[in-house]
Structures are given as C-alpha cells and as structure tokens.
Amino acid sequence: MSNTPSTPTPSSEAPAATPYGTLPPASPLAQRKPVSLPRLADMHARGEKIAMLTAYDATFAAMADAAGIDCLLVGDSLGMVCQGLNSTVGVSLEAMRYHTDSVSRGLRRVQGTTWLIADLPFGSYQESREQALRSATVLMQAGAHMVKLEGGGWTTETVRFLVERGIPVCAHLGLTPQTVHALGGYRVQGKGDSAGALLKQQAHALQDAGAAMLVLEMVPAALAAELTTELKHCATIGIGAGKGTAGQVLVLHDMLGINLGKMPKFVRNFMADAPGVLPALQAYVQAVKNSSFPDDRLHAW
C-alpha cells in the first residue's frame, strides 16, 4: 500500500472563493425566524423598535441581514444613490424590479430572514388602483414582501385595494420625495396645527385601509410620537421624525458616510466609530433597538 496522502475529495474541500464579493452559504442569522407581518405586529405591540435600512444590491442586503436588520427597503432613493438622478421622479418600475430582484436574490443566497419592502416609483400607481396592482405585482414577483407608496388622501383607496388583494402595504407621509416639486423642496412637513391635523387624519385613514406600516419622513418629533401612540395597527417608521416612532429607517449610503454632499440633519454616520461595514450595520441595529438613535436634540425637529 502506498503512503502517499490521498488527494482530498471535492466534498472535503472548503468552497472556493469567488471574486467580486463572495456571499457565505448562510447568513449568521439564518436561525432567526423569518420576519413576517405577524412578527412585525408583535414587535410593534411589545414596543420593540423596528430597524430598517435601504438596500439596492445583493451584497449589502446579505450584510444587513447578517447584522440583524428587521426590514430592508428597496427605496426609489436608488435614483439618487445608484443612478445619479437629482430626485426620485425619474425612477422607472423596471429599475425598481431590477434592484428588488438583486436584493431578494442576495437574501435568498444566504437564507436571509429580513422582511423586504419595495417602493412603487413615481407614475406607477397614480393613474388607477388597477395600475397600482399591476405595478405592485411586478415588485412582489421580483421578491418583495410589501410595497410602499407615497401620499395620503387619494392613496387611501389604492392601499385598501392592494391590501384586500393580499399585498401588504407601507404608506409614506410627511416629506414625500416623489412630490418634491409640488412641496417646494426637501422641507419639514406637518408643522403647525392644521398641517399636523391633516397628516394625522391621513395616517388614520391609511391605517383603517389596512396599511401595516407608515414611513414618517421629516415631520416634527412631537407629532410623530403622538401618531405612533394613536396608531395601534400600523407601525410608524421614522426618518427625521424623532425617537418616538415604532421604528427607524435610513438610507444605507448615508449611514455609512458614503455621501460627498451635505449630510441631512437626521443622519448619523455609523462608520465614524466602526472598524468596518458589518460592525457599523450592527451598531445601527443596536442603536435603534435601544433608542440611542435618533437623538432628538440632534436629528429631529
């Protein structure tokens, strides 16, 4: 018998590294139960803060999942972040489908457990409830678990139509970037008694129509906190809305300090004190969960 060591069989070899961002076979959090609507409702009821970030590609999606993020949003902010547009107005449904598919694939590759939301872009839901259903179908078939749409009032019936047809919906009030031209810029919304009352009324109507989540962007912290207490079946997710909301969302590139312009007041750069991207994402999740982010004195109005 020869003493020559046998060549290892392929099955005993470590998987070969592939170039361009190798994904692990499984997320470190693969054991976590998948985040679902009932789990989100339970977190909301128990007062556990919901940590959300945007994601636009497979690698960052897998990293955010590994960091323990609850929800990822394929935001139409990809128009600015990935496509170099001046606003979200130019983002197409096909672009949203492409990025939703990429993020969803990244999560599937690592058996990710994160809840995935995708934005209905400008012009893909305003025409009719049927148009909204067709557009939402494209994003759900690309892997989204929920769609988000902007605005209150006329959107209420669209939300009801989608929810009745089995599509979970996240609404979005306050600064709604798709209507930035009508709003006159990226400004705080809901200031003053009548604007605040209108925003509250629209939020209640959206909850009654079945919206399970509501992004509140750039609204006074006191208003967002009051609404959060009032809405029992719709979890508020703040961005520039203070610490009183049920959860928080930030644009991924902003919170990683990947921004050459002026950082919005409501952003904290989690890379500033972190040795890498994964620890920065973990620090964000922890800061949202323990309510140390946002700090109303720094990040709110």
* Binding interface with ligand KIV (CB under 6 A): 54, 73, 75-77, 119, 215, 217, 239, 249, 251
Distance CA 37, CA 164 (A): 15
Q: Is 217 a catalytic residue?
A: yes
Question: Token match 């690592």: residue?
Answer: 110
| 142/249 with CB nearer ligand KIV | 249
Tell which residue, 290, 299, 294, 120, has the closest CA to residue 211. Answer: 120
| 65/119 with CB nearer ligand KIV | 119
Beta carbons within 8 Å of 297's beta carbon, 6+ residues apart: none
| 77/202 with CB nearer ligand KIV | 77
Minimum Å gap between C-beta 251 and ligand KIV is 5
Closest residue to ligand KIV, judged by C-beta, is 75
Question: Token match 């600064």: residue?
Answer: 175
- Catalytic one of 13, 150, 217, 226: 217
Beta carbons within 8 Å of 277's beta carbon, 6+ residues apart: 63, 256, 271
Minimum Å gap between C-beta 284 and ligand KIV is 14
Q: What is the CA radius of gyration of the chain?
A: 20
Minimum Å gap between C-beta 74 and ligand KIV is 8
Minimum Å gap between C-beta 47 and ligand KIV is 22
Distance CA 215, CA 117 (A): 12
| 23/281 with CB nearer ligand KIV | 281
Distance CA 72, CA 122 (A): 20
Minimum Å gap between C-beta 54 and ligand KIV is 4
| 68/177 with CB nearer ligand KIV | 177
- The catalytic site residues sit at 217
